Structures are given as C-alpha cells and as structure tokens.
Amino acid sequence: MVRLEPGLEHVVKQFAKNFANGLPESEQRQAFDRHIVPAPGRIYYQSVLGLGASVAWKKADRAPLLLISGENDRIVEPGMVRQNLSCYEASGALTEATSFPGRSHFLIAAPGWEDIADAALEWVIAKGEPRAVASS
C-alpha cells in the first residue's frame, strides 16, 4: 500500500465513494494505489468553469460517437450522459449511448472491464464508418 502524505487520506475516501463504488471495499485502496497519480487540480477547475474548452455539439462531419456510462456512476451520472446524447444528436451524425448495469465511473478498470471493451468494439464494427485520415 502506498503511503500518503498526511491529510490526503480523504482523497482515498473520495475515490472509493465516487469512482470505485462498485468495487469491494477490500479492493478500493488497491485500485487507488494502482491507477491514481498526482496531478494538478487546475485542469479540473478549468473544465468545470469551461475555460479553454468548448464542444462542437452540432458538428455533422465528425466520426460516430458512442457514449458509455455506468448505471452507478457518481461522477458523470446517467442523466448527464443522456443530456449530452441529446446535445450531440443535434448534429445529425451517428450518436448513441449505452449504460452498464451495476457499474461505476471506474467501469473501464474494474473487474469485468473486458465486457465494456467488447461492447464498444462490437459497436464500432457494427456502426463505424471508414474515414479518410488526413496525412500530416
């Protein structure tokens, strides 16, 4: 187990509550130690405030988009994913969403992540459209 700086144990608790809430308690700290790296908080504040970022919701010539969520996600709740879906659908480009029952925000790293990867790959194969790649 990685030793944390004094006062940072609350970060582990928040990770367990909001990201790894689908994992057994005995595995939450292991997941934190394996996947979480220190990062400046600035990017999160900028994202929340919309600084330096924008979304082209109506861009019709984009690639197909599959929004993937976990039913028990506390970071990007299913309602937010549905709201994003309706915004992206305004583009007319292929946009779909799928939610995985019993999964949290940690769905791509929790046990069974292969099911999510398989579903995404199957969607790409079924719905994907070949696109010309611009050479650099």
Nearest to 30 by CA among 106, 113, 118, 115: 106
Asked if 97 and 31 sit in the same domain, the reply is: no
SS3 31: helix
Asked if 79 and 129 sit in the same domain, the reply is: yes
127-130: long-range contacts (C-beta < 8 A, 24 or more apart)? 127/64, 127/66, 127/94, 127/96, 128/63, 128/64, 129/63, 129/64, 129/94
Distance CA 9, CA 64 (A): 40
Asked if 59 and 106 sit in the same domain, the reply is: yes
Asked if 68 and 126 sit in the same domain, the reply is: yes
Question: What's the pLDDT tens digit per position in 115-126?
Answer: 999 999 999 999
Which residue in this structure is represented by tokens 């940690």?
106
Question: What's the pLDDT tens digit per position in 51-79?
Answer: 777 788 899 998 899 999 999 998 888 99
pLDDT at 6: 61
CATH code: domain of residue 122: 3.40.50.1820
Q: Pick the last residue of a domain from 11, 32, 54.
A: 54
pTM of the model: 0.73
* Total number of domains in the chain: 2
Residue 134: give the domain boundaries.
55-136
Q: At 102, is the pLDDT very low, low, confident or very high (cuts 50, 70, 90)?
A: very high
Question: What's the pLDDT tens digit per position in 75-97?
Answer: 888 999 999 999 999 999 999 99
Percent of the chain with pLDDT over 70: 85
Distance CA 10, CA 89 (A): 39
